[in-house]
Amino acid sequence: MSANQAANKSKLKQIGLSEETLLGLYTNLMRTRLLDEKFRKLFRQGRFAGTYFSAVGQEATTVGVTYGLRDEDIIGPSHREIGAAVTKGIPFREIVAQVFARSSSPDKGKTHPCHYGSREKGIINPASTVAGQTVVATGCAMAFKIQKKDNVAVAFFGEGSTARGGWHEALNFAGIHKLPMIYVCQNNLWAESVPATLQGAIEHFADRAKAYGFPGVTIDGNDVVVVHKTAQEAIARARAGDGPTLIECMTYRWYGHSEIDPANYRRSEELEEWKKKDPIARAELLLTELGLLTVEKREVLVERIEQEMEEAIKFAEESKYSEPEEAYCDVYSDKFPVRREEY
């Protein structure tokens, strides 16, 4: 073993993650970033209707938490969780079909762009109501506890969501019943155009967890290693029956609330400062220092992702829109009503 290999092995031991995990996290960061930027271009080309909610700049908050979750684990997302959809395994073609509102999308083209969901992958379709799926995910966690399953539920939301009444009720309920929940607050400093200082008179939104009797931590949300390790600890705690955790990830979205928002309420200096903390660049620097990434390996990965994106776009654009009558379908579960004796 060379001196460099020995040094890298020592660094890996200090980081506490395997080579496979680090490369897996980076691959999902890149898949999320490239697909996200592609959607922004497609919107400007008029290739789909509505608008688009980019998550560029805050990918580590979703990738780091979602990586390693089981299909049976549930995610209650909002509209900026493309990283969770990619990392939990929704195929590109289904993600693109959702944004293009086609019948081949898991939601059959019924919802707004960026409402990524998948029954097979355990992702609840987002609701446009802020933090709406935090309540539903908490209900799923209660079901896991009743069924004596060690699955977990993860809810993603912004710091502005923590000012809503339903959000507080959900966390209070989870704390009382020690539910297997991981609450992930993506604090990007802005709730659409409202600054975080007008959402709560506190410095750290993770402090809200104290009121409900479970841990809350504030971390660097642009460091995918820190996010993943913090999430893994919370997930292990939840699977063991020790209750929920609130993780506040400090991060920043590079673009407006959506593609029709110029974001001219922010200072350019603030944006430039956060771009220096780009989670992709930081992950690339780490992997390069560890000898796990080269320019050539990166180019191969980018080429593979771009090919996958082009195939997914072709699939979506060749898919039909749903007929109007489709709106009446899937209103109730086929198994409704659920029989109590099944459990």
Q: Which of 220, 223, 274 is nearest to 247 (CA)?
A: 220
Q: Compute the half-sphere exposure of residue 227: CA atoms within 13 Å on the CB side of its CA.
A: 31
- End-to-end CA gap in the chain: 55
Q: What is the pLDDT of residue 339?
A: 58
Q: Which of 183, 168, 241 is nearest to 215 (CA)?
A: 183
Tokens of 137: 């995910």
**Model confidence at 167, in pLDDT bands (50, 70, 90)?**
very high
> Which of these is catalytic: 33, 93, 112, 257?
257
Q: What is the chain's alpha carbon radius of gyration, rounded to the nearest angstrom?
A: 20
Whether 212 sits among the annotated catalytic residues: the reply is no
Whether 257 sits among the annotated catalytic residues: the reply is yes
> Which of these is catalytic: 112, 228, 253, 282?
253
**Dihedral class, residue 335 (left if φ above 0, else alpha if ψ from -120 to 50, else beta):** alpha
Q: What are phi and psi of 258, to 5 degrees?
A: -145, 180
pLDDT above 90 (res 337): no
Give per-residue pLDDT as tens, 58-84.
Answer: 999 999 999 999 999 999 999 999 999
> Which of these is catalytic: 44, 265, 304, 321?
265
| DSSP letter assigned to residue 46 | T
Tokens of 229: 């390790």
Whether a cis peptide bond, with omega within 30° of 0, leads into 337 is yes
Tell me the three state secondary structure of residue 89. coil
pLDDT above 70 (res 96): yes
Q: What is the pLDDT of residue 284?
A: 98
Whether 282 sits among the annotated catalytic residues: the reply is no
pLDDT above 80 (res 223): yes
The residue with tokens 């007008």 is 198
- Beta strands 74-76 and 245-250: pairing type? unpaired
What is the rounded average pLDDT of the residues 310-320?
98
- The answer to whether the CB of 225 falls within 8 A of the CB of 286 is yes
pLDDT above 70 (res 248): yes
Tokens of 33: 């970033």
